Amino acid sequence: MPVQTGAIPIDTKDDVFLDPTGAPRRIRAVTVNSASPLLVSLVAQVGFEAVWIESEHGPVGFERAETLCLAAEAGGIFPLIRLPDGERHHVLRALEIGARIILVPMVDDADYARRIVDVGKYPPLGHRGFNTRTRGMEFGMVDLQDNLARANNRTHLFAQIETTTAVANIDEILAVDGLSGIFVGPGDLAVSMGKAGQMADPELRETVLSCMAKANAAGKRTGIFTLPGPLLSAAMDAGCDLVVCGGDVMDLGTAWSKLLGEIPAELG
């Protein structure tokens, strides 16, 4: 979808993808694989709009994730959680602790996408479990009907497109009502295409852009996780709404390697 960027004050009660005027904006994020609230605060201080909390490829459980959500909101940014899968207890608990964007990996077909919506949205979109005494539902201290409607509107469920099977089923996935959009994982997708690590491959690029074009046509949002370079530039040119482009472990490893290379070990 077409987006705007810029330093816009964030009200965490609003739709993360809209500025205070209702205009669409791009959300930029980095991952905090270390699960450090201090680094979540740094993400906010730098100026990103969201932080990626990693629960698929890392040890972060829901108790720790809630602490990271608190740190994000204290800094005025949005918590985004990637879950291990789309099982009910994972989706529901992520919503209850305050996640505003939820990514479910390896969504290969529309049936899986529909199950995610069913457990992650209140009626009429789904059958999310009812409990207002949680952070995600503002502890039941606001009007119930307004809160239920707001919960559906201000939380976003994304299906990760990471395999050639998902690409083949993209039209059916995009047709699922209540799904906010798709998030392309080019790393896994490249592996599925037999092109592991080839982020500059033209076929991979065209596959990513084709998925995004179909999402735009279906009125869905799009996201991608990739480093700055031609693929990211092309995705942003295509109107990508959610861009995740780095993380603490990766970035520190690069920075520290560079630093170490500038300090000789030899004396004299």
Q: Catalytic amino acids? A: 57
Q: DSSP characters for 174-223?
A: HT-TT--EEEE-HHHHHHHTT-TT-TT-HHHHHHHHHHHHHHHHTT-EEE
Q: Residue 54, SS3?
A: strand
- With beta carbons less than 8 A apart as the criterion, state whether 70 and 97 touch: no
Q: Where are the beta strands (DSSP E) in 8-97?
A: 27-31, 50-54, 78-82
- Residue position matching structure tokens 């709009």: 49
Who contacts 147 (Cβ-Cβ below 8 Å, separation ≥6)? Answer: 132, 137, 138, 140
With a CB cutoff of 8 Å and minimum separation 6, the contacts of 41 are 71, 74, 75
